[in-house]
Structure 1
Amino acid sequence: MVTPVEEFHPQLDNARGLLLEAARHLDVHPSIIEQLGSPKESMTARLMVRMDDNTERSFTAWRCRYDDTKGPTKGGIRFHPDASLDEVETLAFRMMCKCAVMNLPFGGGKGAVRVDPRTLSRAELERLSRAYVRAFYPLMGPDRDIPAPDVNTNASVMGWMVDEYSALAGKPQPAFITGKPIALGGSLGRSDATARGGFHVVKNLEKELNLADCDKTVCIQGFGNAGQHMATFLHNDGYKIVGLSDSRGAVYCADGIDAYEAVRVKHETGMVSALAGMNGIQTMDPDDLIAADCCLLVPAALEEMINKDNAHRVKAKVILELANGPVTPKADKILEDNGVIVVPDILANAGGVTVSYFEWVQNLQMFYWELDEIHTRLKAIMDRESRAIWELAKATKTSMRTSAYIHALRRLNDAIEAGGTQGHDDSR
């Protein structure tokens, strides 16, 4: 069933604030701000899943299609015990803006299931994934709403989901979902796309961000897929990884941590703290990582990790938001006052949705590109949009976050105005 927007929406309210701040710099009709201020549709469902012991458990799930002015909605599905409708709608809003920043023909969407996937067997996880598709089948589709992986979901989950959707549709539907296994129509270059896109932003703006003149030390908060790939990209380019953290601990070494060794240990043990004792690497409190001495801080974990209580401790010159919403609005103000440049998530981590767009295009054409072509196309888009946002920030004398939202809102405004308003009068 379609549910009304919850009254208590602190995360979405913060996101709306970014939209309103961007609107101050543009001539935007109030009706467009009204349209973009709330989601087009959100659906809540109860998923009944058979466990391996033949009992049944219910899981609350959501899917939000925030706005589809620029095209089908696009956004990942996360499995997390703290998932909520507020979070889903906020992430869908950010996806809308992210796609507009990259000038992709997508609107914003997002989905989630409130579950700790670590408590499920592989078979239970597959049944949960298929139940999600059955519940939200009317909302989704290759020309309506296109999911992708997110926190605690991966190519295997996407493979189960596309198989279930194709069974319901009665024909193969590879363009229904992105981030799939290569064998089911996935794209080359998708697994490292988020980090690669963020790395292109760093390199394209390296001089402007004053990274070329610093000691190129890096701390990465969150060492999942994106964090691991970012560590290796930066390591190969001469940056020194001095700090790493995950959900189970953190390590620091002023002399540097070998990124490839860190990835190997993480894969073998499941925790970066297992690096402790190797080559002078020491454990530290994960909460202290953001205060560690470094030039570049890369939050690659969850939302609101840098907030009003700890933002003043940040020593980095630049924060690259590889995660979605890792810096709160109050923290933003503290960081700006302290001279810290924040490269916002809707630019910094947009490489993932950009290569997802490439995958969708390839699926629709049934013609697949070589890896070099994907890398070339991704770099061109990331370079173009990061440069545009930097120049806009200078012209408007705003932060990179505000300039990114101005950039997105301008494109959304143009699309809404181009479509007109008279053809969708629901009062008639």
Structure 2
Amino acid sequence: MLKRYLLAHRPFIRECWGTSEDLGTREEDILAILKELDVNTSVHVVLSRRSAEDQSTLLGNLLKGLFLQHDGMVFTDVTTGYGVAVAAREALRRLGVRPEHSRAAIQGFGTVGGGAALYLSRQGVRIVAVADFEGCVFSDEGLDIERLLRVRNDKGVVDRQRLSGACRLGLREDWLSPEVDLLVPAAISGAITSEHVDRIQTRLVVEGANMPTTEEAERKLVARGVRIVPDFIANSGGIGLFGALLFHGLPPEPATILAFLDQTISGSVHRIFDIAEQEKISLRQAAHRLVEERRKEMLGRGLP
């Protein structure tokens, strides 16, 4: 199925857009299939506009960067979740909440949710609930995230037989109910609907998944004063990895790339909070304003 999809989209990948892994796919599978289809990378359109020498250097750095190991994970499995954690940290600070004094619940424990949980926990955030495909795991004292990562399978499902006695189990949607400072939907689209709003007890939602909050749910939550950091800001760490290597010429070194992502995503979060406060609009509306600002900057510099 993936090969048929990429074959159908080969003209677009050659001419106008790039692609990457998402739910249920892996970067290495995409690259292997594209090579069969005579397209060297998933960002062919970017490389094709560079000189042969630049193409060789950039492609080499990209392939090294995509398959680096960091914190026991492939680097592409690190960057999106790391960026979500950065966005959450800065948003909490804007709300006057110190990360080390905060509680969070996360939906999803795969690439994005697992990475976000790891880096949030390292910032001192107490993760009290994690939901995967089989249900929800709770601990009021805070889950041992590094242990949970060791006992999850490749689909992000935690082995219940290897949990500590301090953990409680619940249903998949129960991650929405705890009283927390932060909710991170990091699994699927449409995870938070208007039917869930009355259960939610948080001041902040940071979207790790693509489009996890429906429009109606967002309207109701915003009306209650809940801040929602939108997906295209919060989960931009994955595409930021490509940007760091292809557009900013950074070396394929985890520390350098993570520092770049931290600076970039932190700046974006503070900027949308500033715009939202000045214009009396939602964070999503502010994020769209920010995108337009940056588009105009790029056009002004003659970038396509």
Q: Please give the TM-score of this superposition, normalised by the length of structure 2.
A: 0.82
Deviations 1:377-426 (A, max 9, x none): 2122112211211111111011111111122234446767999xxxxxxx
SS in 1 for 2:105: strand
Match of 1:223 in 2: 109
* Higher strand proportion: 1
Match of 2:256 in 1: 373
How far apart, CA to CA, are the structure 2 residues paired with 1:295 and 1:397? Answer: 22
Cα pair 1:130 1:160 within 8 Å, conserved: no
Flag the 1:214–1:259 CA change in 2: closer, same or farther, 3 A: closer
| Aligned AA (1:151) | L
Match of 1:284 in 2: 170
Match of 1:31 in 2: none
Higher mean C-alpha deviation, range 353-362 or range 378-387:
353-362
SS in 1 for 2:13: coil
How far apart, CA to CA, are the structure 2 residues paired with 1:214 and 1:238? Answer: 4
How far apart, CA to CA, are the structure 2 residues paired with 1:418 and 1:236? Answer: 39
The correspondence for 2:28, drawn from 132, 144, 156, is 156
Deviations 1:84-128 (A, max 9, x none): xxxxxxxxxxxxxxxxxxxxxxxxxxxxxxxxxxxxxxxxxxxx4
Is the aligned partner of 1:402 residue 2:288?
no
Cα pair 2:99 2:124 within 8 Å, conserved: no
Is the aligned partner of 1:136 residue 2:19?
no
* Higher helix proportion: 2
The correspondence for 2:44, drawn from 171, 176, 190, is 176
Of all paired residues, the percent bearing the same amino acid is 24
Shift of 1:281: 0.8
Deviations 1:43-67 (A, max 9, x none): xxxxxxxxxxxxxxxxxxxxxxxxx
The correspondence for 2:126, drawn from 240, 253, 256, is 240
How far apart, CA to CA, are the structure 1 residues paired with 2:16 and 2:154? Answer: 40
Match of 1:346 in 2: 232
How far apart, CA to CA, are the structure 2 residues paired with 1:353 and 1:269? Answer: 22
Flag the 1:236–1:177 CA change in 2: closer, same or farther, 3 A: farther
How far apart, CA to CA, are the structure 2 residues paired with 1:227 and 1:156? Answer: 20
How far apart, CA to CA, are the structure 2 residues paired with 1:269 and 1:351? Answer: 21
How far apart, CA to CA, are the structure 2 residues paired with 1:380 and 1:341? Answer: 21
- Note the residue ranges of structure 2 that are not aligned, 5 or more in a row: 47-58, 69-74
Deviations 1:184-239 (A, max 9, x none): 45434432111111222223333212321884111111111111111111111111
Cα pair 1:245 1:272 within 8 Å, conserved: no
Q: CA RMSD in A?
A: 3.0
| Aligned AA (2:242) | S
| Aligned AA (1:139) | F
Cα pair 1:221 1:227 within 8 Å, conserved: yes
How far apart, CA to CA, are the structure 2 residues paired with 1:383 and 1:336? Answer: 22
Deviations 1:134-187 (A, max 9, x none): 32222212x62211111111122223233223xx25xx5574399x99994543
Q: How many residues align?
A: 283
How far apart, CA to CA, are the structure 2 residues paired with 1:329 and 1:268? Answer: 31
Flag the 1:177–1:253 CA change in 2: closer, same or farther, 3 A: farther
Cα pair 1:194 1:349 within 8 Å, conserved: yes
Match of 2:54 in 1: none
Match of 1:101 in 2: none
How far apart, CA to CA, are the structure 1 residues paired with 2:65 and 2:2? Answer: 18
Q: Please give the TM-score of this superposition, normalised by the length of structure 1.
A: 0.59
Match of 1:334 in 2: 220
Cα pair 1:344 1:401 within 8 Å, conserved: yes
Cα pair 2:34 2:42 within 8 Å, conserved: yes
Shift of 1:357: 2.0
| Aligned AA (1:147) | T
For the pair shown, the structure with the greater C-alpha radius of gyration is: 1
Alignment of 1:299-314 (within 5 A): 299-314=185-200
